[in-house]
Amino acid sequence: VQLQASGGGLVQAGGSLRLSCSASGGTFRRLTTGWFRQAPGKEREFVAAFKWTDASPYHADSVKGRFSISRDNTKNTVYLQMNNLKPEDTAVYYCAAGGRLISSSLPNPAAYDYWGQGTLVTVSS
């Protein structure tokens, strides 16, 4: 499975961006897909995931109410809509995919088998 992330950029605080991650080479509808981010000098952090087994979205507490993950199986694409962005959201955002993940595994990067190349999001104050 190959993942290609796009949509990052520079935005002012309070603004919005939508990230996209297109997948190829696998059965997309049977993949759990997630977004992680990594700021300079920090560990990779879970942002959101969409679990295919129950078609449910999961979001980290730090982004609940501001970010929303969704997916379009007809386009083999997962999205991350980011609203009310804050400077602390600045990071490289990575999309990831894996097979049958249980809910408790979603925040663990090691649970995912496939990773995209990352897209940089910079939020200015």
- pLDDT tens string 108-124: 999 999 999 999 999 99
DSSP conformational letter for 88: G
Give the C-alpha separation, 41 to 89, whole Å. 14
Residue 81 has pLDDT above 90, yes or no: yes
The letter for the amino acid at 123 is V
Residue 99 predicted with pLDDT over 90: no
Mean pLDDT for the stretch of residues 75-89: 97
pLDDT in tens, 6-18: 999 999 999 999 9
Q: Are 19 and 9 in contact (CB under 8 A)?
A: no
**pLDDT band at residue 96 using 50, 70 and 90 as cut-offs:** very high
Longest Cα pair distance anywhere in the chain, in angstroms? Answer: 40
Lowest mean pLDDT among 4-8, 15-19, 98-102: 98-102
